[in-house]
Amino acid sequence: MHHMKLKAAVAKYRPMKAEGKSDEDILTEIKLDENGYDDDQAAEILAAVNAEVPEQAPPPPPPILNDQSNAGNSLPDPLAALASIDYNNLKGEAFKKYVSVVGDKSFVILDEETGQEKQVVGQLQLDKEYDFELYRAKPVRKKRYIGVQESPMDFVGIELVNTKPEHKTRIPVKVALEANAQILNQHSIAGHGRYYLIVKK
């Protein structure tokens, strides 16, 4: 069928589809048309009418924000792991857990297979900015081998000199880690150091 003739027929019978008429009803009307369409032409017109209907369909509903049903599919927030940590007792396993999320350039653990020291890498993107609070703090250290006079001293946490932060700031993670790397100098050991702690959610 000629394109212009088909287009005119579609324009004529499309409203019937929009009104909810069945394909059978529309096909009957097409066959009764004054233009005398045969069965093949009527079927072609009906197919074209149905093909154009989706253009008039309503748009899909917008996605529901904060849909709890999809909560399990989203990536967990690394900071959520810090909620149970007491910053006033940040040593041992608590400090190790903190470092596993945020990172620390001075903190190392022993590789169980090789016995070599290795740094713990945090989960946060180094260039991403977070809220940090700056505290006066000093490092907590203990002997790696009890009873050995020349045992190396391991950095196992920090002790807050003041429980109230000096100030709050929003900085990239790597800036906080660079500043915190000074915690093992003599100034910090004497209790005059500074340490950035990320603000918990």
Own/partner contacts of 41-50, CB < 8 Å, gap of 24 or more, are: 41/1, 44/1, 44/6, 45/1, 45/6, 45/9, 45/10, 45/13, 46/13, 48/6, 48/9, 48/10, 49/10, 49/13, 49/14, 49/16, 49/17, 50/17, 50/23
- pLDDT value of residue 92: 92
Q: Are 59 and 72 in contact (CB under 8 A)?
A: no
The predicted-structure confidence for 122-134, as pLDDT tens digits, reads as follows: 999 999 999 999 9
- pLDDT value of residue 2: 66
| pTM, 2 dp | 0.60
- Per-residue pLDDT tens listing for the chain (201 residues): 567 777 788 788 788 888 888 888 888 888 888 888 888 888 888 888 777 554 445 566 655 444 444 444 555 788 999 999 999 999 999 999 999 999 999 888 887 788 788 888 899 999 999 999 999 999 999 988 888 888 888 999 999 999 999 999 999 999 999 999 999 998 888 888 999 999 998
Element containing residue 45 per DSSP (H, E): helix 39-52
Tokens representing residue 164 in the block: 């109230």
- pLDDT value of residue 191: 84
Beta-carbon contacts of residue 44 (< 8 Å; ≥ 6 apart) = 1, 6
Q: Are 30 and 22 in contact (CB under 8 A)?
A: no
Q: Indicate the average pLDDT of the chain.
A: 84
